[in-house]
């Protein structure tokens, strides 16, 4: 029993790191994704092509590779010291997820009928007013389902951090296998399930809240 | 007195010329009806007037003064100010689905009132150079009151306009809860909220079931006295309300005159054929 508590405590510590990576990634990637989305829809062609190429590269290569490149890349290529482990992971995750989010945003924004935008213009509204007052909420509603998928994937992707030896929950559990304990590894699943369960409830709540928007 | 003058409007999309030098004038308070076959450039003309498209060439005079010139590139700010002079009611309503009817009508007014309040704030703060906190607090309170008043006025105006289009009891309904005819009436109230100098309608009833067109046409009829440009395929309605009629064909004004002239004694062959076809089908 005491063993169980000790394991739980250690796993919780690893889970703290997991949550930290998750939250930091989300807070930074959500707005960055929007900026990338605007870039990929820009009427200025060079910008649009550059942004779309970057999105293609990021989405087209494994996240694990990106983590490794960002952590070891600066040192190996330029002989400068890069980020620490956790910041490296967060940078890689933010870039990767911002690109995925940007495509979701883009789909959501492009699907809003152009007529609403024009109606706003004719009424003397600015592009910014139209975006925040009219488009945004509808986009939020439309992207809720794909976003919840992506965000739940992020919860589990945080475990990739262990490739550069960040001590997150799976890494901790792995440590126990060396003591001959296998169950902590399964036990980590409970943490993920609870976390994802809470997120699912939150998303369901958001869906209910935006149900009045028949768009 | 000539109130609106459109001069030499030309517009090309890629290689096809959609407007080939359209010009007309309109007196204050008159209703101009534009008719013409599909693809003749009616929508494009209205969109150019409302700055949703930029014509390649052409000028607009309003109230005797040059209002816009295709050769000039206006800043977003100038465009916004100019757009307020014209209103446009769209064929497919284009209401904002995330707001109820009342907010659809009041939103633009509310935003403008807030902007005015912010501008006033800057002005007051600039006047109170190095304002002490007491003065700042007084200004902040004044601006808050101004914003509140602006919002209340906009909402009251929206209520009055919804009553005018016969929808006061629908003010809390969202667009999806309204019939097409009701949606279009909200859209008309919304366009009226900013009291544009010239109100344009682009086939306001052609997306509606036949039994719903009447209520919308009735509302438009009730606006007589406003300067309006109405594109429509409802020939009986056109004939009834128009002070002037323009018949467009292939990007030019083929024939122009009073309602009696155009419908009663058409001169060009194209117009005669067009009117004959509409009579046979009841529509285009
Ligand atoms: N954005 C655009 N890009 C390319 N071509 C366009 C565009 N908008 C309109 N056109 C073309 O311009 C021509 C005139 O279109 P417009 O919509 O002004 O006609 P209309 O008189 O309003 O017709 P309808 O009665 O069908 O509404 C059409 O041939 C159309 O295909
Ligand atoms: Mg049209």
Rounded to 5 degrees, what angle do the CA atoms B40, B41, B42 make? 105
pLDDT at site A185: 80
d(CA B135, CA A112): 45
| Closest ligand 1 atom to Cα of B46 | 18
Q: Show the tokens assigned to A15.
A: 């889970």
Does the complex come out with an ipTM higher than 0.95?
no
Distance of CA B196 to the CA centre of its chain: 7
CA nearest to B216, candidates B178, B247, B243, B246: B178
Determine, for residues B86 and A115 on separate chains, whether the beta-carbon distance falls below 8 Å.
Answer: no
**Would you say the CB of residue B75 lies under 6 angstroms from ligand 1?**
no
pLDDT at site B157: 94
pTM of the model: 0.83
Count of residues making up chain A: 215
Residue nearest (by alpha carbon) to ligand 1 atom 29:
B39
β-strand B244-249 against B31-36: which pairing, if any? parallel
CB B32 within 8 A of CB B229: yes
Q: Please give the residue that has the higher pLDDT: either B221 or A163.
A: B221
CB B51 within 8 A of CB B62: no
Does the structure show a pLDDT above 60 at B283?
A: no
- Find the mean pLDDT for residues B183-187: 95
Does the structure show a pLDDT above 70 at A215?
A: no
Residues 6+ away with beta carbon under 8 Å from A73: A82
Taking contacts as CB-CB distances below 8 angstroms, the residues of chain A near B151 are none
Taking contacts as CB-CB distances below 8 angstroms, the residues of chain B near A140 are none
**How confident is the model over B200-223, as pLDDT tens digits?**
999 999 988 888 889 999 999 999
Does the structure show a pLDDT above 50 at B284?
A: no
Does the structure show a pLDDT above 70 at B178?
A: yes
- Find the mean pLDDT for residues A110-132: 91
Between the CA of B236 and the centroid of ligand 1 the distance, in Å, is 24
Q: What is the mean pLDDT of chain A?
A: 88
- Rounded to a whole number of angstroms, the distance from the CA of B172 to the nearest CA of chain A is 13
- For residue A114, the chain B residue with the least C-alpha distance is B94
d(CA B165, CA B185): 6
Does A108 lie at the interface with B, CB-CB under 8 angstroms? Answer: no
- As a whole-number percent, the residues of chain A with pLDDT over 90 amount to 45
d(CA B171, CA B185): 11
- Find the mean pLDDT for residues B248-262: 91
Q: Show the tokens assigned to B54.
A: 């930029």
d(CA B162, CA B175): 14
Does the structure show a pLDDT above 90 at B228?
A: yes
pLDDT at site A179: 81
pLDDT at site B4: 93
Does the structure show a pLDDT above 90 at B276?
A: no
Rg (CA), chain B: 21
pLDDT at site B282: 58
Distances from the Cα of A112 to the Cαs of A35, B119, B180, B275, in angstroms? 18, 32, 19, 38
Q: Which of B94, B97, B111 sits opposite A118 (nearest CB)?
A: B94
Determine, for residues B108 and A125 on separate chains, whether the beta-carbon distance falls below 8 Å.
Answer: yes
Does the structure show a pLDDT above 90 at A15?
A: no
Q: In the structure, what pLDDT confidence band is assigned to residue A175 with cuts at 50, 70 and 90?
A: confident
The residue among B50, B94, B161 with the most chain A CBs within 10 A of its CB, best to mutate, is B94
Q: Show the tokens assigned to A194.
A: 């609870």
**Would you say the CB of residue B38 lies under 6 angstroms from ligand 1?**
yes
Distances from the Cα of B249 to the Cαs of A120, A122, B21, B205, B258, in angstroms? 30, 26, 12, 21, 18
- Find the mean pLDDT for residues A45-73: 91
């Amino acid at each position: 029993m005491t063993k169980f508590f000790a394991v739980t405590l250690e796993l919780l510590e690893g889970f703290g790191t997991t949550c930290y990576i998750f939250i930091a990634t989300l807070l930074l990637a959500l707005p960055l994704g929007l900026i990338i989305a605007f870039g990929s829809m820009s009427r200025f062609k060079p910008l649009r092509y550059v942004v779309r190429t970057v999105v293609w590269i990021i989405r087209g290569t494994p996240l694990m590779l990106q983590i490794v490149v960002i952590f070891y890349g600066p040192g190996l290529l330029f002989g400068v010291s890069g980020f620490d482990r956790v910041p490296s992971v967060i940078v890689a995750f933010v870039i990767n997820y911002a690109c995925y989010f940007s495509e979701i945003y883009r789909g959501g924004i492009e699907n809003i009928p152009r007529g609403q935008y024009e109606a706003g213009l004719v009424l003397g509204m600015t592009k910014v007013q139209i975006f925040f007052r009219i488009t945004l909420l509808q986009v939020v509603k439309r992207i809720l389902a794909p976003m919840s998928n992506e965000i739940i994937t992020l919860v589990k992707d945080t475990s990739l951090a262990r490739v550069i030896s960040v001590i997150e929950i799976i890494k901790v559990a792995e440590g126990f296998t060396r003591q001959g304990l296998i169950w902590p590894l399964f036990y980590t699943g409970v943490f993920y399930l609870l976390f994802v369960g809470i997120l699912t409830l939150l998303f369901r709540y958001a869906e209910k809240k935006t149900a009045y928007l028949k768009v | 007195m000539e109130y609106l003058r459109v001069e030499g409007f030309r517009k090309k999309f890629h290689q096809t010329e959609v407007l080939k030098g359209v010009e007309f004038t309109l007196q204050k308070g008159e209703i101009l009806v534009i008719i013409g076959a599909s693809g003749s450039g009616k929508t494009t003309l209205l969109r150019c007037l409302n700055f949703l498209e930029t014509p390649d060439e052409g000028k607009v005079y309003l109230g005797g003064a040059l209002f816009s010139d295709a050769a000039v590139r206006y800043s977003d700010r100038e465009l916004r100010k100019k757009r307020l002079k014209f209103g446009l009611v769209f064929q497919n309503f284009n209401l904002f689905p995330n707001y109820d009817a009342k907010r659809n009508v009041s939103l633009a007014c509310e935003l403008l009132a807030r902007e005015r309040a912010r501008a006033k704030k800057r002005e007051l703060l600039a006047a109170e150079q190095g304002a002490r906190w007491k003065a700042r607090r007084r200004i902040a309170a004044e601006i808050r009151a101004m914003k509140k008043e602006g919002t209340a006025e906009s909402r009251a105006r929206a209520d009055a306009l919804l009553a005018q289009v016969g929808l006061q009891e629908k003010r809390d309904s969202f667009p999806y809860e309204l019939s097409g005819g009701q949606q279009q009436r909200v859209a008309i109230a919304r366009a009226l909220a900013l009291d544009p100098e010239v109100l344009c309608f682009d086939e306001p009833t052609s997306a509606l079931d036949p039994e719903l067109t009447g209520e919308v046409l009735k509302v438009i009829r009730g606006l007589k006295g406003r300067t309006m440009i109405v594109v429509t395929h409802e020939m009986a309605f056109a004939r009834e309300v128009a002070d002037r009629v323009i018949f467009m064909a292939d990007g030019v004004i083929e024939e122009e005159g009073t309602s009696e002239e155009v419908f009663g004694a058409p001169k060009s062959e194209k117009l005669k054929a067009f009117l004959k076809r509409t009579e046979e089908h009841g529509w285009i």
